[in-house]
């Protein structure tokens, strides 16, 4: 197999050949068809997230075909297409797991972080955390659904069903999907991008946003809720300023720069500031059912596996609309 491997944070990934891995009990091996590139991968590569092990193969938006099944696996079979998301394993016995909140497990493993991910031709995954896929999309266009879509879906649910005027801060892979979901649900989407990013603003309007502007611009209407996908802490007070009394601001990323101090009056009047942590398999099943019935336009730019560093650089610099996807 071939893999793009991180040996030291802040350094480029290295293309390596490795022996084909064998799945252990409860595991399956996949032949990777596509793996989307997520901003969390940037946080891993840039050293912004502590890593439990090195070297590590990043990548956690994986679409692959099962080509070997480990002992005791009867829920998947060879030749089946599945997805592998960020949540790779949970303990199953901590208080959070027992309450059905496995996204907050005390002893989790994450794909491309605590175990090798999908920037590779093959990957081994816990069969219980693989997601059977039956969507009318090819692998390239399914891959971004497995994190951008799933985390975006959880963020949208936390924004609340009553949030009809919805602001999306940072119009990248997650926002371009969730804007479409929100429009299908009858919400009005307001897109906030980097100041002067007319290409992203035009892209947002093409997907149904009723307004698009810079992240510091006041929207023409008060927002019921806002979701922040950009990892920029300074957007928190901006979003609080834009939401109505009793509104919510949801931080959808796993990492964000420090939030600057702000006047209490921005939080007063029962505004809420929430964060999203990881996902549950129930989230995944719910969103994939939705995506199977409501066609989503998934904007992608593809890269061969050995161009993973280029894909990361393009994402870091904001040169992409939609999602970058590696195709081994």
Whether residue 119 contacts residue 308, with contact meaning beta carbons closer than 8 Å, is answered with yes
Among candidate residues 29, 27, 31, the one with its CA nearest the CA of residue 73: 27
Q: Could you give the CA distance from residue 299 to residue 113 in angstroms, rounded to a whole number?
A: 26
Q: What's the pTM value of the predicted model, to 2 decimals?
A: 0.94
Q: Tell me, what's the pLDDT at 186?
A: 97
pLDDT tens-place string over residues 222-241: 999 999 999 999 999 999 99
- Name the band, by pLDDT with cuts 50, 70 and 90, for residue 321: very high
Q: Tell me, what's the pLDDT at 137?
A: 87
Q: Tell me, what's the pLDDT at 232?
A: 96
Torsion of CA 230, 233, 237, 240, to 10 degrees: 50
- Name the band, by pLDDT with cuts 50, 70 and 90, for residue 169: very high
pLDDT above 90 (res 91) = yes
Q: Tell me, what's the pLDDT at 136?
A: 83
The mean pLDDT value for 216-221 works out to 96
- Name the band, by pLDDT with cuts 50, 70 and 90, for residue 274: very high
């Amino acid at each position: 197999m071939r893999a793009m491997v991180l040996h030291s944070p802040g350094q480029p990934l290295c293309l390596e050949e490795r022996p084909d891995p064998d799945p252990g009990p409860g595991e399956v091996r996949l032949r990777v068809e596509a793996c989307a590139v997520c901003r969390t991968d940037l946080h891993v590569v840039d050293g912004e997230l502590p890593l439990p092990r090195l070297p590590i193969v990043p990548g956690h938006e994986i679409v692959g075909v099962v080509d070997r099944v480990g002992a005791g696996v009867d829920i998947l079979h060879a030749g089946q297409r599945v997805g592998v998301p960020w949540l790779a394993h949970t303990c199953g016995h901590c208080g959070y797991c027992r309450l059905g909140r496995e996204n907050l497990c005390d002893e989790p493993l994450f794909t491309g972080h605590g175990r090798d991910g999908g920037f590779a031709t093959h990957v081994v995954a816990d069969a219980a955390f693989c997601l059977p896929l039956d969507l009318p999309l090819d692998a390239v266009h399914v891959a971004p659904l497995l994190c951008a879509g799933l985390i975006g879906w959880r963020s949208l649910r936390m924004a609340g069903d009553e949030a009809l005027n919805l602001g999306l801060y940072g119009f990248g892979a997650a926002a371009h999907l969730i804007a479409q979901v929100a429009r299908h649900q009858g919400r009005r989407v307001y897109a906030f991008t980097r100041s002067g990013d007319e290409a992203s603003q035009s892209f947002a309007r093409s997907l149904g946003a009723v307004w698009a502007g810079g992240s510091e611009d006041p929207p023409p209407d008060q927002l019921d809720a806002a979701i922040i996908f950009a990892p920029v802490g300074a957007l928190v007070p901006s979003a609080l300023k834009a939401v109505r009394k009793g509104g919510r601001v949801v931080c959808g990323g796993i990492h964000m720069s420090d939030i600057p101090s702000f006047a209490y009056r921005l939080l007063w009047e029962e505004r809420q500031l929430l964060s999203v942590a990881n996902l549950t398999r129930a989230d995944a099943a719910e969103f994939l059912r939705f995506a199977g019935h409501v066609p989503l336009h998934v904007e992608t730019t593809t890269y061969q596996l050995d161009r993973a560093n280029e894909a990361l650089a393009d994402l870091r610099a904001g040169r992409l609309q939609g999602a970058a996807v590696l195709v081994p």
